[in-house]
Structure 1
Amino acid sequence: MDEQNESVCLNSSLVEVDYFINLEDIDVTADGSLTLRFLICLVYSMVCAAGLIGNLLVLFFNRVKKERKKSTVNFFVLNLAVTDLQFVLTLPFWAVDTMLDFSWPFGGAMCKILLSVTVMNMYASVFFLTAMSVTRYWSVASSLKNRTARKSCSAKWTCAIIWTLATLATAPTAIYSTLSNVTGEELCLLRFPGGQYWLAVYHIQKIIVAFVLPMSIVSISYIMLLRFISHRSMKTSNPKRRSKVTKSITIVVLSFFLCWMPNQAITLWSVLVKLNVVHWDKAYYIVHTYVFPLTVCLAHTNSCLNPVIYCLMRKEFRDKLRSLIHRG
């Protein structure tokens, strides 16, 4: 959402960026398209509704399923649902902001709170997904050892560490988010004292901490898990089990990659522009104004896909959902 707020500056005469002063020389259609803003609001509403339903179902199933011994992965799933639920609850505010052409109507305090909550839950969600991938490999690789009590304790400590890291990663957002007057409009923005350089550093942190490192860890963990299952399958002659796990892992990795890659790629482009490594031009303006908001929507869909992938794809949760529907 921080990058979207940077796009607010682009849509509001591009203040504080001296190489944007020749915007009038670029022959493009005026930004702030009502159709595009309506589309974004529609997507936000759909993601919010799907995220609320999916994550509340996850919380409900975990709450009523007291008879089953809680595992480390289920504990992470519960925290992930709470994280994604908090995230989707911020979407109606961003939908209103978008519909008003990024003119912030909720005041300075809400600007700081909502930006911080949005970014913190973005980091926490990615960190929990990463922790779950490592846990899935470790639980399978050490399945012959009885470490139930140790796992339960370590899961709680891991969650505490994840929330602490997410809070620390959000600190720049909490400190520098502010309500600013730009050409007569009140906008919710990030304003760093060092200007474009520190904003670029901020985005580099987001790319590395929230995408490159998690994607690398997730990929390595699942590759190792597939190799382990492949080796075991050759001994136990259970190709069906291997195929099922392979499909599940492929969906997890691809959904994370496809939802976040377009957003992170354009963010990297903007970093290169800020550092004067790449020149700002018409192509950047068009992509940032018209394509980038759609990549933000795509990234947000990851929050409603998480409960579907990690819970509703599992037979035990599908059975409970089917039972709930039949009773209704």
Structure 2
Amino acid sequence: MSEGNESVCLNGSVLDLDWFGTLEDIDVSADGSPVLRLLICLVYCAVCAAGLLGNLLVLFFLRGKQERRKSRVNFFVLNLAVTDLQFVLVLPFWAADTAMDFSWPFGDVMCRIVLSVTVMNMYASVFFLTAMSVTRYWSLASALENRTVFRRRCSAKWISAVIWTLATLATAPTSVFSSVTNVTGEKLCLLRFPGGQYWLAVYHIQKIVVGFVLPMCVVSVSYFMLLRIIQTRSMKTSNPKRRSRVTKSITIVMLSFFLCWMPNHAVTLWSVLVKLNAAHWDKSYYIVHTYVFPLTVCLAHTNSCLNPIIYCLMRKEFRDKLRGLIHGR
């Protein structure tokens, strides 16, 4: 074990190695771990297949400039599909890593690339989801108050460029401190922070706050403000069914994002509290971190194949295009 704090990378999340030395003090059977690894590999393969199909369909439907210009949301959906497609392409690497009991066979460069792409997907996806929620609210508010000047100035391309920049900056620590290291004879893809466990705690806190808490707050505020407009404003010229579909889709967006990511961030927060000595390391922590945490990672990453379903297949125009594609029209 090196002097710095080390963590095994599990598809963009990390499992601490600094507590493995104490496992002999706790009698916990690991007989289920091969079954768990097999389950994780199957989930990754399913997510990869579904994500490839769904996101490629999104890119196919939005391939024309006219489609992207119809609304800023369409442009954000296109960017969301790109980042989710990048993520599902690295899933086979994580499936192989899991199947080999986290023994990384692809070298140091691929460790940095694959881990960085995975973490960037988390940030970029949540940032685009947030931008889409704000855009939906602002579009409705602007339509009611004729704020067309601001709408023209607020370019979707500039917003997307800012989002990609922020996601890249947030991923920088992962790119810098990830590497392949020999631990007890095994080559593991690790995050190695020179400052000890407190720097790793800061890394986790950044992911929780920037990648979940703040976006969830913004999405929630945008959603409730949109509901307020729908309920209190008189919109005689608008279609009630369309407003209902917008409300339904945003509700599903919030629920899917919250349910997919909350368990993973909750376990991560528990890990942070243990690192900062604010919570005790015990048998329950080991069981949750060993058996439950990998499943929360799987659940979080299913969001990458849910996104195209939510944003495209729930919209009539895209369903019609899909039917036409299936029937050869």
The CA deviation at 1:83 is 0.7
Q: Which residue of structure 2 lines up, in the alignment, with residue 156 of structure 1?
A: 157
Is 2:274 aligned against 1:273?
Answer: yes
Distance 1:31 1:163, change over 3 A: farther
Q: Which residue of structure 2 lines up, in the alignment, with residue 188 of structure 1?
A: 189
Aligned sequence identity (%): 78
List aligned pairs for 1:8-87, cutoff 5 A.
14=17, 16-17=18-19, 21-30=21-30, 33-64=33-64, 66=66, 69-87=69-87
Distance 1:260 1:5, change over 3 A: closer
Does the aligned pair in 2 maintain the 1:8–1:187 contact within 8 Å? no
Does the aligned pair in 1 maintain the 2:43–2:298 contact within 8 Å? yes
Q: Which residue of structure 2 lines up, in the alignment, with residue 143 of structure 1?
A: 143
List aligned pairs for 1:1-328, cutoff 5 A.
4=10, 14=17, 16-17=18-19, 21-30=21-30, 33-64=33-64, 66=66, 69-144=69-144, 145=146, 147=148, 150-151=151-152, 154-232=155-233, 240-327=241-328
Q: Which residue of structure 1 lines up, in the alignment, with residue 3 of structure 2?
A: none
TM-score (norm 2): 0.91
Moved more, 29-38 or 300-309: 29-38
Partner AA of 1:208 in structure 2: V
The CA deviation at 1:243 is 3.2
CA distance in 1, matches of 2:99, 2:152: 46
Does the aligned pair in 2 maintain the 1:128–1:162 contact within 8 Å? yes
Does the aligned pair in 2 maintain the 1:58–1:78 contact within 8 Å? yes
The CA deviation at 1:154 is 1.7
Distance 1:67 1:300, change over 3 A: closer
Q: Secondary structure at the match of 2:214?
A: helix
CA distance in 1, matches of 2:262, 2:223: 19
Does the aligned pair in 2 maintain the 1:116–1:174 contact within 8 Å? yes
Gaps of 5+ in 2: 1-6
Moved more, 70-79 or 96-105: 70-79
CA distance in 1, matches of 2:113, 2:238: 54
CA distance in 2, matches of 1:61, 1:241: 21
Gaps of 5+ in 1: none
Does the aligned pair in 2 maintain the 1:115–1:174 contact within 8 Å? yes
CA distance in 1, matches of 2:238, 2:50: 39
Distance 1:291 1:194, change over 3 A: same
CA distance in 1, matches of 2:235, 2:61: 35
- Cα displacement string for residues 206-244 of structure 1 (whole angstroms, at most 9, x for unaligned residues): 000000000000010011011101123686796544433
CA distance in 2, matches of 1:128, 1:83: 10
CA distance in 1, matches of 2:14, 2:240: 52
CA distance in 2, matches of 1:232, 1:241: 15
Moved more, 97-106 or 234-243: 234-243
Q: How many residues matched?
A: 322
The CA deviation at 1:3 is 6.0
CA distance in 1, matches of 2:78, 2:322: 17
CA distance in 1, matches of 2:262, 2:282: 22
Q: Secondary structure at the match of 2:302?
A: helix
Does the aligned pair in 2 maintain the 1:103–1:186 contact within 8 Å? yes
The CA deviation at 1:24 is 1.1
Partner AA of 1:138 in structure 2: W
Q: Once superposed, what is the RMSD of the aligned Cα atoms?
A: 2.4
Does the aligned pair in 1 maintain the 2:260–2:302 contact within 8 Å? yes
- Cα displacement string for residues 36-64 of structure 1 (whole angstroms, at most 9, x for unaligned residues): 00100000001011111110000000114
Partner AA of 1:47 in structure 2: V
The CA deviation at 1:293 is 0.4
TM-score (norm 1): 0.91
Distance 1:253 1:2, change over 3 A: farther
Does the aligned pair in 2 maintain the 1:181–1:187 contact within 8 Å? yes
Partner AA of 1:105 in structure 2: P
Q: Which residue of structure 1 lines up, in the alignment, with residue 4 of structure 2?
A: none
Moved more, 245-254 or 276-285: 245-254
Partner AA of 2:58 in structure 1: V
Distance 1:181 1:8, change over 3 A: farther
Partner AA of 1:101 in structure 2: D
CA distance in 1, matches of 2:325, 2:317: 12
CA distance in 2, matches of 1:316, 1:160: 27
CA distance in 2, matches of 1:236, 1:223: 22
